[in-house]
């Protein structure tokens, strides 16, 4: 299950479209980092609306992706965490500390624009 990554100007938009195995998640991490380097992207939106479970591995991988991209000087926003998924994550004790989140793709892109303006 490959995650499509679209280039939109200075940004990348990755939309997870189905449940991912651990291998899929690691493959996604590699592919996304490659694209960030290739396109010298300034920001990334990862849309997880279709993820029905965010367990410890998925949460850790998304956090790692964000930290790695930050070391490249780019921002990442996770968007579309479903309410029941958010509830389960908190019950499980999982956090996305230091990771930006937004309601949906539109707000995620707005967040990146805002970050770009405030740092320029």
Partner 1 sequence: MPDDIRVLIRSNLDIVKARQEGRALAARTGFSATDVTLIATAISELARNIVSYARQGEIVLGVVESANAKGVTIISRDSGPGIRSIDDAMRDGYSTSGGLGLGLPGVRRLVDEFIIESVLGRGTVVRVTKWLR
Closer of 83 and 117 to partner 1 (Cβ): 83
Structure tokens at 17: 């479209």
Length of the chain: 120
Least spacing, CB of residue 24 vs partner 1, in Å: 9
Contacts 24+ apart (CB under 8 A), 55-59: 55/92, 55/94, 56/92, 56/94, 57/22, 57/25, 58/20, 58/25, 59/89, 59/94, 59/95, 59/96
Least spacing, CB of residue 57 vs partner 1, in Å: 6
Least spacing, CB of residue 34 vs partner 1, in Å: 22
Q: Which residue has the tokens 């990334």?
A: 44
Which residues contribute to the site for partner 1 (CB under 8 A)? 19-23, 52-57, 60, 82-85, 87-89, 91-94
Least spacing, CB of residue 83 vs partner 1, in Å: 8
Closer of 40 and 60 to partner 1 (Cβ): 60
Closer of 41 and 101 to partner 1 (Cβ): 101
Closer of 68 and 94 to partner 1 (Cβ): 94
Q: Is 83 exposed, middle or buried (0-12, 13-18, 19+ CB in 10 A)?
A: exposed
């Amino acid at each position: 299950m490959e995650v499509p990554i679209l280039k939109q100007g200075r940004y990348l938009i990755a939309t997870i479209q189905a449940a991912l195995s651990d291998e899929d998640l690691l493959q996604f991490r590699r592919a996304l980092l490659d694209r960030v380097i290739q396109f010298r992207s300034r920001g990334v939106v990862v849309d997880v609306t279709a993820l029905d479970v965010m367990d410890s591995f998925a949460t850790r991988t998304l956090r790692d992706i964000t930290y790695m991209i930050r070391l490249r000087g780019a921002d990442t926003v996770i968007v579309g965490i479903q309410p029941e998924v958010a509830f389960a994550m908190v019950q499980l004790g999982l956090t996305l500390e230091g990771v930006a989140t937004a309601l949906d793709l539109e707000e995620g892109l707005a967040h990146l624009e805002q970050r770009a303006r405030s740092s320029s």
